[in-house]
Structure 1
């Protein structure tokens, strides 16, 4: 497959509206499956839900050997309310860039993985072991596809994994985790003219938020040399039904990005302690915590042999410096496989354009990533 064909295939994938929600990733999976079928590469669809299926592809070598995993997600976030200059699903090419929702995050990385496997098959080199592609559903909403595949044992054969999230083809060996607690307070309705008869859930929530944002609340952690410190942000709050009704319910969602030294259960316990503190002031307070998202941080040792191998490949064309990223990935689920293996995040695309209007990928970076994955596979499996 030449460069024009590689660009054309990526454009076809970008044009598929696999927006999550609802996902509709099966159309992407089938498009990839057709490509693999044409080149004699074994595939398997793993259904998650209606119109949602993960795709597994196996490029098997002539002998037993290690298994290199490549992974990317097929869903994309909504286009948003802000106007785009380019059609979000037009896959327009201009000034060395391909525009479209998912062009950066992360259909370019996913397609590059697939085309690297096709290139290896066409080249016909004898490899030992296998290259396995795990194309997942639902990464943008809880990494549900990678969780399903991990629970079903699809990651247990892997000896190393490359996650093709956008890094401008720079090597990242760590990323933060995500913990999204939702706090709900329950009160009692009353007429707005008689607030003393009711129990105001918003007032109780205000006190809880005040404590969380106060100086006494402090997340327990050790700063990470690649990821720095954790962060938390109160990003959703909703309560009440009408101006003349004392609100009987209020909820807030918190986005906590964690580093490897932290324990998510301990963070929830800290929030529970805050609620108990507020109860001393408001004995009638009733509250609960629900966990909307729980993704583990990921970190691979810089001394891991696979990391060294990737560095040797990348430094031929660019910087082999190691780093970390603040977002989570499907790696948050794959690390829970029964077998340990190194994870490297490496892919085309500039993270700052992800989830933005006029998202794009630089064509050169996309084409370079195909070669990078191919060369890494060669060194790992030959």
Structure 2
């Protein structure tokens, strides 16, 4: 497949509206399957839900050997309310870039993985070992596809994994985790003219939020040299139904981005303690915590042999810098496989354009990533 064909195939994939919600990733999976079938690469489809299908592809050598995993997600976020200058699903090519939702995050990385496998197959490689592609559903909303595949054992045989999220082809060996607690306060309705006979859930939630943002809540952690400190913010608050009704429910959603030194269960216990503290002032307060998203932080040692190999591919002298990213990835689920393996995040795309209007990928970076994945696979499986 030449460069023009590689660019055209990426455009075809970007034009598929696999927006999450609802996802509709099956069409992407089928498009990839058709490509692999054409080149004699074994595939398997794993259904997650209606119109939502994961794809696994295996490129096997003639002899047994290590297994290199490649992974990317097929879903994209909504286009948003701000008007685009380019058709979000037109995959328009302009000034050396392809524009479209998912061009950066992360259909370019996913397609580059697939085309690297096709190219290696055409060259009669690998001679030993295996390359396994895990194309997932639902990464943008809880990494549900990678969770399903991990639970079904599809990552258990991996010896190393490359996640093709956008990094401008720079090497990242760590990313933050995500913990999204929802705190719900329950009250009792009453007529707005008689608030004393009700229990105002908004008032109680106000006290809880003040306690969280004040001195009663403090995250326990050791700052990470690549990821820095954890963060948290209260990003949603909703309560009440009518101006003349005392509200019987109010909730907040929090977004916490965690580092490897933290324990998510301990954070949840801290939030529960905050609620108990507020109860000493408001004994009729009733609140509970629900977890909307729980993704582990990921970190691979800079001294790992696979990391060193990737560094030598990116820079012959092995001097390529290592970094971390603040977002989570499907790696948050794949690290729960039975076998422990190094994870490197490496892919085309400018991270700052992800989820933005007029998202794009530079064609040169996209084509370079295909060659990077080929070179890494060749060296790792040699």
Residues 34-59 of structure 1 show CA distances to partners (whole Å, capped at 9, x for unaligned) of 00000000000000000001000000
Question: Are 2:67 and 1:57 equivalent residues in the alignment?
Answer: no
Question: Are 2:174 and 1:174 equivalent residues in the alignment?
Answer: yes
Deviation (angstroms), 1:315: 1.0
Equivalent in the alignment of 2:146: 146
Residues 320-348 of structure 1 show CA distances to partners (whole Å, capped at 9, x for unaligned) of 10000000000000000010000000000
Alignment of 1:87-98 (within 5 A): 87-98=87-98
Alignment of 1:321-332 (within 5 A): 321-332=321-332
Q: TM-score, normalised by structure 2?
A: 0.99
Deviation (angstroms), 1:125: 3.4
Q: State the distance in 1 between where 2:262 and 2:35 align.
A: 42
Equivalent in the alignment of 1:243: 243
Q: How many residues align?
A: 382
Residues 294-334 of structure 1 show CA distances to partners (whole Å, capped at 9, x for unaligned) of 00000000000000000000114997100000000000000
Equivalent in the alignment of 1:275: 275
Contact 2:100-2:358 within 8 A present in 1 as well = yes
Alignment of 1:1-382 (within 5 A): 1-316=1-316, 320-382=320-382
* SS of the residue 1:58 aligns to: strand
Q: TM-score, normalised by structure 1?
A: 0.99
Deviation (angstroms), 1:216: 3.5
Q: State the distance in 1 between where 2:121 and 2:344 align.
A: 23
Deviation (angstroms), 1:238: 0.3
Q: State the distance in 2 between where 1:211 and 1:149 align.
A: 39
Deviation (angstroms), 1:128: 1.1
Q: State the distance in 1 between where 2:272 and 2:92 align.
A: 50
Q: State the distance in 2 between where 1:286 and 1:312 align.
A: 57
| Deviating more after overlay: 114-123 vs 314-323 | 314-323
Contact 2:113-2:370 within 8 A present in 1 as well = yes
Q: Which runs of 4+ in 1 moved over 4 A?
A: 316-319
Deviation (angstroms), 1:215: 2.8
Deviation (angstroms), 1:111: 0.1
Unaligned runs of 5+ in 2: none
* SS of the residue 1:274 aligns to: helix
Contact 2:302-2:322 within 8 A present in 1 as well = yes
Q: State the distance in 2 between where 1:228 and 1:171 align.
A: 17
Q: State the distance in 1 between where 2:318 and 2:262 align.
A: 33
Contact 2:120-2:126 within 8 A present in 1 as well = no
Q: State the distance in 2 between where 1:93 and 1:176 align.
A: 33
Contact 1:127-1:378 within 8 A present in 2 as well = no
Q: State the distance in 2 between where 1:13 and 1:22 align.
A: 17
Q: State the distance in 2 between where 1:166 and 1:185 align.
A: 39
Contact 1:55-1:136 within 8 A present in 2 as well = yes
* SS of the residue 2:98 aligns to: strand
CA RMSD of aligned residues (A): 1.0
Q: State the distance in 2 between where 1:326 and 1:318 align.
A: 24
| Deviating more after overlay: 17-26 vs 311-320 | 311-320
Unaligned runs of 5+ in 1: none
Contact 2:100-2:359 within 8 A present in 1 as well = yes
Residues 250-273 of structure 1 show CA distances to partners (whole Å, capped at 9, x for unaligned) of 000000000000000000000000
Residues 219-262 of structure 1 show CA distances to partners (whole Å, capped at 9, x for unaligned) of 00000000000000100000000111110000000000000000
* SS of the residue 2:77 aligns to: coil
Q: State the distance in 1 between where 2:286 and 2:126 align.
A: 65
Contact 1:170-1:319 within 8 A present in 2 as well = no
